């Protein structure tokens, strides 16, 4: 198998004296959709924040595209091609949908390609084009998630990390967003790392998965294999 795009080795991290992640090792293959699932408080968001440089790593390595990015400043990590769509979407109040999307491209100098990517986001999510002038924070929850994902695409990442795609959204919308992620992955080849509390949704979208329990990776495998695991079925799928 080819070298993974992202490979984490023995990572520990937390907040001040509070250790949250313990000896995390994982690999994300280029071009794939991988999910991280686990209960509330397991450390999923902390893991994404450590990858994107918002939480310091206490030990271990985060190898991305051939370089150790652990403890690099967040803007440099973004420049290496990792974008983080945070839990709760965090769009900028007072800025239009279009300006929120363009903020994702602030490091880019290739104006023609930026315009093309904006058109791509509008094709992917036509509602954003209809609402382009509207304050992004007045969109519905599902539309805000589309805008946050769109903003991520606008930075032309190699790795798109999404924290809680489905949070607070109706099942129909979650399905629509899942289809959009599959389409993004298929048409642009962007590697996707999806964090989800909704395990059924995550397993439908992703090909590979890992389970985090109290800050440790407890299982990894294809989502097909994980869905067939009796312990996982009982703990996370309720069957």
Ligand X SMILES: Nc1ncnc2c1ncn2[C@@H]1O[C@H](COP(=O)(O)OP(=O)(O)O)[C@@H](O)[C@H]1O
Number of residues that bind Mg ion (CB under 5 A): 3
Measure CA 193 to chain center: 5
Residue 51 binds which one of Mg ion, ligand X, none, with CB within 5 to 8 A depending on kind? none
DSSP string, 162-226: EE-SSTT--HHHHHHHHHHHHHHHHHH--EEEEEES-HHHHHHH-SEEEEEETTEEEEEEEHHHH
Q: Which residue lies nearer to ligand X by CB, 71 or 134? A: 71
Q: Does 168 bind ligand X (CB under 6 A)?
A: no
Q: Which of 14, 20, 35, 45 binds Mg ion (CB under 5 A)?
A: 45
Q: Which of 27, 35, 45, 165 binds ligand X (CB under 6 A)?
A: 45
d(CA 219, CA 208): 11
By DSSP bridging, strand 208-213 and strand 33-37 are: parallel
Residue 180 binds which one of Mg ion, ligand X, none, with CB within 5 to 8 A depending on kind? none
Residue 100 binds which one of Mg ion, ligand X, none, with CB within 5 to 8 A depending on kind? none
Q: How many C-beta atoms surround the C-beta of residue 115 within 10 A?
A: 12
Binding span for Mg ion by CB under 5 A among 42-50, 137-145, 152-160, 221-229: 42-50
Binding span for ligand X by CB under 6 A among 44-52, 99-107, 185-193, 230-238: 44-52
Q: Which of 42, 118, 161, 181 binds ligand X (CB under 6 A)?
A: 42
Q: Which residue lies nearer to ligand X by CB, 129 or 220? A: 220
Give the DSSP H or E segment for 73: none
**Buried-exposed string 76-108: b where 16+ CB fall within 10 A, e elsewhere:** ebbeebbbbbbbebebeeeeebbebbbebbeee
Number of residues that bind ligand X (CB under 6 A): 11
The binding site for ligand X (CB under 6 A) comprises 15, 18, 20, 38, 40-46
């Amino acid at each position: 198998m080819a070298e993974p795009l992202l490979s984490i080795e023995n990572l520990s991290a937390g907040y001040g004296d509070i250790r949250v992640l313990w000896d995390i090792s994982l690999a994300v293959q280029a071009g794939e959709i991988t999910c991280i699932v686990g209960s509330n408080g397991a450390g999923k968001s902390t893991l994404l924040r450590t990858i994107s440089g918002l939480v310091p790593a206490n030990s271990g390595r985060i190898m991305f595209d051939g370089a150790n990015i652990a403890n690099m400043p967040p803007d440099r990590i973004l420049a290496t091609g990792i974008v983080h769509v945070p839990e709760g979407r965090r769009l900028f109040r007072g800025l239009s949908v279009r300006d929120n999307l363009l903020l994702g491209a602030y490091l880019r100098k290739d104006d023609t390609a930026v315009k093309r990517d904006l058109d791509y986001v509008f094709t992917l999510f036509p509602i954003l084009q209809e609402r382009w002038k509207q304050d992004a924070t007045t969109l519905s929850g599902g539309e805000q998630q589309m805008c946050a994902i769109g903003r991520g695409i606008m930075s032309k990442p190699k790795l798109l990390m999404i924290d809680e795609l489905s949070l607070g959204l109706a099942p129909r919308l979650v399905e629509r967003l899942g289809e959009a992620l599959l389409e993004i992955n298929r048409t642009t080849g962007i590697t996707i790392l999806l964090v989800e509390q909704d395990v059924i949704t995550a397993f439908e979208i992703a090909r590979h998965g890992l389970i985090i329990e109290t800050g440790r990776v407890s299982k990894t495998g294809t989502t097909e294999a994980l869905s067939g695991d009796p312990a996982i079925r009982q703990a996370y799928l309720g069957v």
